[in-house]
Amino acid sequence: MTTEDSRIRVLCVDDHPIVLQGISGLVSVQADMDVVAEATNGREAIEQFRQHRPDITLMDLQMPEMGGLDAIGAIRGEFPEARIIVLTTYAGDVQALRAIKAGARGYLLKSTLHKEMVDSIRAVHAGRKAISTEISFDLAEHATDEALSQAEVRVLRLISEGNANKEIADRLNLSEETIKKQVRSILSKLSAKDRTHAAMIGFKRGIIDP
């Protein structure tokens, strides 16, 4: 029998009301869990965490005002013992790596089966880590890849917005030759066939936001 004191106290964070309602509903029907608070952006998540000190926080990444990554960093900076599970639509390995480096102890896709989600909450509460199988494969596949530099990520973002090399050079106040070199490096590092392919890989892996 689970007593009220022994239940896992959960904070749910998502900017989509229907998704938030669905996640909270799923958690609250578990005999060993309680939803103690909800938040719709990173700032609210920090405030609710301070107020309720949940055992587990389920955190979306893409949110207005303050995203999940910044919120994870802020919460973990103030409460190093915080156990946070990212629950996101995006499967990108780069995004996952950023979240894990920021201190997330779990990374799940919103398409995850309900059982996997509640099992992951219990696992992280018990001190383990929980990462979706799909994400684990992606992380392993790209573990030895050479990462794009910050300058290359900036260029890739501008490529994804449809800018030509000259436009990117003008925007970044660099020579067109410098941009050409960076584009060649981006294509090589991402094993991309062309600029459009590079942008698609960038979105898929979470290097740039869609």
What are the structural domains of the chain?
4-141 (3.40.50.2300), 150-205 (1.10.10.10)
Q: What is the pTM of this model?
A: 0.77
Q: Is 187 exposed, middle or buried (0-12, 13-18, 19+ CB in 10 A)?
A: middle
pLDDT tens digits for range 148-188: 999 999 999 999 999 999 999 999 999 999 999 999 999 99
Confidence of residue 92 (pLDDT cuts 50, 70, 90): confident
Confidence of residue 3 (pLDDT cuts 50, 70, 90): low
Mean pLDDT of 79-104: 91
Query: Comparing C-alpha atoms, which of 121, 127, 130 is closest to residue 10?
Result: 121
Query: Comparing C-alpha atoms, which of 115, 107, 113, 103 is closest to residue 91?
Result: 107
